[in-house]
């Protein structure tokens, strides 16, 4: 795979995608246990018969012993669709000196999510969103999907101005059915609007995880003297005195970071930040083990 090398795969060993609401995400047979009535491989428990239960679920041996009707419940295994929503707006093209871009970081994390999902028998699909949302790859299972996912990530490019909230909402419209959603974005833009869009995904009963991609320059603002700032999503260039602007910028960035972390934590959603430096696999590990 272009976007997931063997070293990264080794660092991701032991991780998995385990939705908290697995019983609400139905699909083809897979590896997520949920309580289901009827016949399956693993017996779970007996419970008293209720009107409407199928007669084939009645345990007649229990009836012979107890003279009461009981039905058998089993644990079934459900394959779920795992959707990666990858931000491909212009701001994702940023790369600090000698570092990969935020989009490349997002590609690697997306490939890892697909690799983990497919390895455990689930389906993996990809939606990219920038100026518009696109279902780049419908969710499917099987080894062939990994190569298709890698190619779809290669075709993604960062460009265009984006309203983050509207983009996430548009991406949600591209999801063919309920599943696990891993949102990978720098989350630059309207914080309140983005959080509202994420809550809308939850309201649609998706299992949502959020991975924010940032470059250290965006947090630290390591510039000095007069600078010409050019936006990656359009707008007029702006001359600023970096030394004078730095304190206010850093404070604003910290407020936004705290707003995302606090709101997503209160909503019970998994959230982690991956930087374009260091091992991004550690951030993905934090996301998947919360």
Residues 203 and 62 in one domain: no
CATH of the domain at 127: 3.40.50.410
Residues 108 and 244 in one domain: yes
Range(s) of the domain holding residue 130: 6-24+79-288
* pLDDT > 70: percent of the chain: 87
Q: Indicate the number of domains in the chain.
A: 2
Q: What are the tens digits of pLDDT across the range 133-188?
A: 889 999 999 989 999 999 999 999 998 777 888 888 888 888 888 899 999 999 99
3-state secondary structure of 227: strand
* pLDDT > 90: percent of the chain: 57
Q: What are the tens digits of pLDDT across the range 72-90?
A: 766 545 678 999 999 999 9
CB neighbours of residue 278 within 10 Å: 10
Spell out the alpha helix ranges (H) of the chain: 6-11, 60-66, 102-119, 144-155, 164-173, 191-203, 216-220, 242-266, 280-288
The DSSP annotation for 231-288 comes to -TT----EEEEHHHHHHHHHHHHHHHHHHHHHHHHHTT-EEEEEESSS-HHHHHHHHH
Token pair 């399956």 is found at 40
Residues 153 and 281 in one domain: yes
Asked if 80 and 100 count as a contact pair (C-beta separation under 8 A), the reply is: no
Residue 1 within any structural domain of the chain: no
3-state secondary structure of 109: helix
Residues 19 and 47 in one domain: no
The pLDDT value given to residue 52: 66
pTM score, two decimals?
0.80
């Amino acid at each position: 795979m272009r976007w997931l090398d063997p070293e990264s795969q080794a660092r991701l060993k032991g991780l998995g995608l385990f939705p908290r609401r697995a019983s609400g995400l139905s699909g083809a047979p897979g590896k997520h246990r949920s309580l289901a009535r009827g016949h399956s491989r693993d017996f779970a428990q007996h419970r008293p018969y209720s009107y409407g239960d199928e007669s084939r679920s009645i345990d007649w041996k229990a009836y012979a012993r107890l003279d009461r009707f009981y039905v058998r419940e089993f644990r079934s295994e459900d394959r779920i669709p795992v959707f990666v929503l990858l931000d491909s707006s212009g701001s994702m093209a940023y790369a600090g000196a000698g570092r990969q871009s935020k989009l490349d970081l997002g590609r690697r994390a997306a490939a890892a999510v697909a690799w983990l999902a497919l390895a455990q028998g689930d389906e993996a699909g990809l939606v990219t969103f920038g100026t518009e949302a696109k279902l780049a790859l419908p969710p499917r299972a099987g080894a062939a999907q990994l190569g298709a996912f890698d190619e779809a990530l290669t075709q993604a490019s960062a460009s265009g101005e984006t309203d983050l909230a509207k983009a996430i909402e548009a991406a949600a419209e591209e999801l063919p059915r309920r599943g696990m959603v891993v949102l990978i974005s720098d989350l630059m833009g309207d914080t309140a609007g983005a959080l509202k869009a994420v809550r809308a995904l939850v309201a649609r009963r998706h299992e949502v995880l959020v991975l924010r991609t940032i470059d250290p320059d965006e947090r630290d603002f390591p510039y000095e003297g007069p600078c010409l700032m050019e936006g990656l999503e359009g707008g007029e260039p702006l001359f600023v005195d970096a030394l004078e602007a730095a304190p206010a910028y850093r404070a604003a960035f910290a407020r936004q970071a705290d707003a995302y972390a606090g709101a997503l934590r209160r909503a019970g959603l998994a959230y982690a930040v991956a930087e374009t430096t260091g091992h991004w696999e550690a951030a993905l590990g934090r996301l998947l083990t919360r």
